[in-house]
Amino acid sequence: MPELTKIKYAYIAHMPAADELNRGIVESFNAHQDSPLIKKTHYFGDRYENIYIEREEIPEIDQIIEQAILYVSELLDVAVEKLQCGFWFNSMQKGDVTTPHTHDDDDELMSGVYYIQAPKQSGQLIIGIKGYQSVVEPEAGKFVFFKPNVIHEVSENLSDDHRLSIGMNFGLKNEFKSE
């Protein structure tokens, strides 16, 4: 398995052979994002920060979730078969930000993000408290994992291009409450 790199408040890893996989996810996301059947939550700054599309609608997501669970299993020292993952899409256009928040609402054990499409200057992930934080540059194919109680946000997308990522929460099967 590819290596996990520790930074302050987080761990970084990469998805092997992500380019083709990410292209398929972008195509599927674009085909479904405006469907009246999808759920959108967290309306801030004239956009929904969380877009929920059923896993069956985007079959390419399975590889991302499976790889993420492998990483989280290693980080938490918990068997893969005991973990599950809830996920959502975060779509950012020029000028969009994601406000400071945590993911410790329920019984999450780990949170994370996976970058599908991340143009230069499309917003940095800021993890931690001012003065004691890590700043992560988004990059297609990159995972970032962190504890659910860690404050994080995304700075303004200054690029002219769309940025797409997947937010994730991990917990134990039969104990995890997904949104």
At 136-148, the pLDDT tens digits run 999 999 999 999 9
Q: Considering its fold, how many domains does the chain have in total?
A: 1
Nearest-Å Rg of the Cα atoms of the chain is 15
Handedness of CA 18, 160, 124, 148 (dihedral sign): negative
Tens digits of residue pLDDT in 105-134: 777 899 999 999 999 999 999 999 777 899
Rounded to the nearest integer, the mean pLDDT of the chain is 88
Quote the domain boundaries for residue 95.
5-172
146 within domain boundaries: yes
Can you list the alpha helix ranges (DSSP code H) found in the chain?
18-32, 61-76
| DSSP E strand boundaries for the chain | 5-7, 10-14, 39-44, 47-52, 83-92, 98-101, 110-117, 125-129, 132-136, 142-146, 152-154, 163-172
179 within domain boundaries: no
Token duo for residue 34: 């405006």
pTM flag (> 0.75): yes
Dihedral (Cα; 13, 134, 109, 114), 10-degree rounding: -40
70 within domain boundaries: yes
Q: 85-89, 108-112, 172-176: which range is least confident on average?
A: 172-176
User: Using an 8 Å Cβ cutoff, are 4 and 68 in contact?
Assistant: no
Instruction: Give the single-character DSSP code of 2.
Output: P
- The pLDDT score that the predictor gives to residue 43 is 58
177 within domain boundaries: no
Give the Cα separation of 111 and 86 in Å (integer). Answer: 10
81 within domain boundaries: yes
152 within domain boundaries: yes
CATH number, position 108: 2.60.120.620
114 within domain boundaries: yes
